[in-house]
Amino acid sequence: MCANLQASIRVTLPWNPDTRTIHIDAAHDTYTATLAVRAVLLELGYSQPPRGALCWCGQFLDVAAAVRRGPAWTSEVTRYGA
């Protein structure tokens, strides 16, 4: 299963292993968000190519789509925001 990408208003936990979700700051553009996603994946032990963010399965993650989608006004924010 691929990493999920979710833009969030306030990122307190960049990586949620329960949902395999990488949270990116909703204020970030695609470039900055990609750097953030790469940082999380590197920290998890998955080396990254010169460009883009590579999922552990070998597929590139669509960071631009997650940025476009924007934040979800649901559980994640409230769950980790308090």
User: What residues make contact with Zn ion under the rule CB under 5 A?
Assistant: 2, 55, 57, 59
Query: Among residues 53 and 67, whose Cβ is nearest to Zn ion?
Result: 53
Closest contact distance (angstroms) between CB of 9 and Zn ion is: 25
For residue 61, count CB atoms less than 10 angstroms from its CB and return exposed for 0-12, middle for 13-18, buried for 19 or more. Answer: buried
Closest contact distance (angstroms) between CB of 57 and Zn ion is: 3
Closest contact distance (angstroms) between CB of 81 and Zn ion is: 27
Counting runs of H as helices and runs of E as strands, what totals does the chain give? 3, 3
